Structure 1
Amino acid sequence: MNEPQHYSQLWQWRTPRVQLLLWAGWLALVALFVWCWQVMTQDTIWAFVLDAPAQAADIGSRMVPPRWGYLPELMAPLWDTLNIATLGTLGGVIMAVPVAFLAARNTTPSVALVRPVALFIIVTSRSINSLIWALLLVAVIGPGLLAGIVAIALRSIGFVAKLLYEAIEETDARQIEAIAATGAGRAQVLNYAYLPQLLPAFCGISVFRWDINIRESTILGLVGAGGIGLKLQASLNVLAWPQVTMILLLILGTVVISEWVSARIRRAII
């Protein structure tokens, strides 16, 4: 008597239908990329693109050596840039704290009304680049350091408030309930329950944002908002490439030092 034969089906990670859909998706993605590339490059003059390496080499040769004698003239604009970043960060942090508490689910007075307004403020601040803020403010309040400070502050609100309200929502509810069970008022709960948990995160977020703002404040002068960007724009306008090199080296050094200071402060706090 013949024994029954057992047939084993070959296992596949994806079924033929899924594989076909996957290949169709990749094909559609490639087609979309080709179409987007054609749209973006339809006005491109490829002769200029082919000549770009030679032009870059020519400009690079003119930028060397840097004009070291120009350094003393950059100290005052550099100080203005640091002030723009520092005061702008301070203003942004001050405005971001109440927005963060209004956006957090566990501290907002109204999830249905107040929280969406706070989230809208956060999204608006984060959606508009600091350079655009500066461009608008220069048109409103005129050129100068004030426009740069306010631009940095408005840009910082969304960044600080978003990270801070997420930290508020992650606070340990047991500590808050324990403080509230003693009969403490709202201010006391905030001071003894929320503040100890939020202080390390708040300080780390503030220092991190200050480090970012130093980078952003270096270019605000391109639209008239003060700082070392004014010197950079003036040097570019007259094709003073050795001065441009000196400014770029100074900006690079400033960013490296601010990154080191920011890292040390965050390490000491956290």
Structure 2
Amino acid sequence: MSEAALSGPSRRWVRFTPVERGARALVYVLTAVAVIWSLRTIEIIPEFLYDAPEQTADLFVRMWPFDWAFYPKAVHAALIETLHTATLGTLLALVLAIPFSFLAARNFTRSGPLNWIAQFVFVSSRSVNSLIWALLFVAIFGPGPLAGTLAIAFRSIGFVGKLFGEALEEAQQGPIEALTAAGAPRSMILVKGYWPQVEPAFWSVALLRWDINIRESAVLGLVGAGGIGVALDAALNNLYWDQVGLILAVIFAVVIATEFVTSFIRSRIL
């Protein structure tokens, strides 16, 4: 018998099946169509793109040097207000989100309708941008930091509640079952069974959300919700570019400092 007959028919390795190749080709075509459609919809004007680098360089030139005398007049108080808005908004979000987290955790609340209601609250909170929340509360309570604080809180409920609820669902059931078998009340099961397991996740989520809220609260003033965004909006409207540069530099410095602070706290308590 020949060697070719012994080896049998040759086989060629193919990474994707014909159906998978067709699906990938369809995705590529749809993506290209979506990009072309988007470009036609937003109506990009080529003339504006040609001199964009020159305009950007000119803008930065007008921002420098900063108007440092403007900081004690309007920036410092607005910056402190921004930090207070972010902090109070985060605390309020924690108070409002934690109860819904327990309702969303299926291993803690074994009720489908209650789980669905909690998930609906989380989705509703996350689906609305913080600027939209700020516009809504400015219309209700008027311009000021109260509207900004509530906007930060209601925007954060979905983030905090979802992540903390998932941490509750991932808790090991061994300690819970042991406490239940010993006849421990539900409050003791919560304190001794769930909390030691989810405490690191709680602090991690709280610190992360506070860091994010400081960044978001810096721009809420653009819609009248208080904070340093009010000073930025006024400087932009008056074309005081040296003041705009100062405010942007302060926001950048605060964001960097907040990142270091949250990282340090997280390394100490986690």
In which range does the TM-score fall when normalised by the shorter chain? Answer: over 0.9
Structure 1 residue matching 2:47: 3-state secondary structure: helix
Structure 2 residue matching 1:113: 3-state secondary structure: helix
Per the TM alignment, residue 3 of structure 1 is displaced from its structure 2 partner at its CA by: 3.9
**AA in 1 matched with 2:94:** V
**AA in 2 matched with 1:101:** F
- Provide, for residues 207-243 of structure 1, a one-character-per-residue CA deviation record: whole Å limited to 9, x for no partner: 1110110000000000000000000000000110000
Corresponding pairs, count: 267
Q: Does 1:94 align with 2:95?
A: yes
Structure 1 pair 106–30 and aligned structure 2 pair: CA distance change class (3 A): closer
**AA in 1 matched with 2:229:** G
**AA in 2 matched with 1:87:** L
Q: 1-side partners of 2:215 and 2:59: how far apart? A: 24
Per the TM alignment, residue 17 of structure 1 is displaced from its structure 2 partner at its CA by: 3.2
Structure 2 residue matching 1:68: 3-state secondary structure: coil
Per the TM alignment, residue 65 of structure 1 is displaced from its structure 2 partner at its CA by: 0.9
Identical-residue share of aligned pairs (%):
47
Q: 2-side partners of 1:15 and 1:92: how far apart? A: 47
Partner of 1:127: 127
Structure 2 residue matching 1:239: 3-state secondary structure: coil
Please report the RMSD computed on the Cα atoms of aligned residues, expressed in angstroms: 1.8
Per the TM alignment, residue 36 of structure 1 is displaced from its structure 2 partner at its CA by: 2.5
Q: Answer yes or no: is the 8 Å Cα contact 1:105–1:115 preserved in 2.
A: yes
**TM-score scaled to structure 1, two decimals?**
0.93
Structure 1 pair 34–259 and aligned structure 2 pair: CA distance change class (3 A): closer
Structure 1 pair 253–20 and aligned structure 2 pair: CA distance change class (3 A): closer
Per the TM alignment, residue 15 of structure 1 is displaced from its structure 2 partner at its CA by: 6.6
Unpaired runs of 5+ residues, structure 2, are none
Partner of 1:59: 59
Partner of 2:247: 247
- Provide, for residues 188-214 of structure 1, a one-character-per-residue CA deviation record: whole Å limited to 9, x for no partner: 111111111111211111111101100
Partner of 1:141: 141
Unpaired runs of 5+ residues, structure 1, are none
> Which deviates more, 56-65 or 4-13?
4-13
Q: 2-side partners of 1:55 and 1:4: how far apart? A: 74
Structure 1 pair 190–24 and aligned structure 2 pair: CA distance change class (3 A): closer
Per the TM alignment, residue 183 of structure 1 is displaced from its structure 2 partner at its CA by: 1.0
- Provide, for residues 102-131 of structure 1, a one-character-per-residue CA deviation record: whole Å limited to 9, x for no partner: 000011151x21100100000111111111
Structure 1 pair 122–13 and aligned structure 2 pair: CA distance change class (3 A): same
Partner of 1:212: 212
Per the TM alignment, residue 38 of structure 1 is displaced from its structure 2 partner at its CA by: 3.5
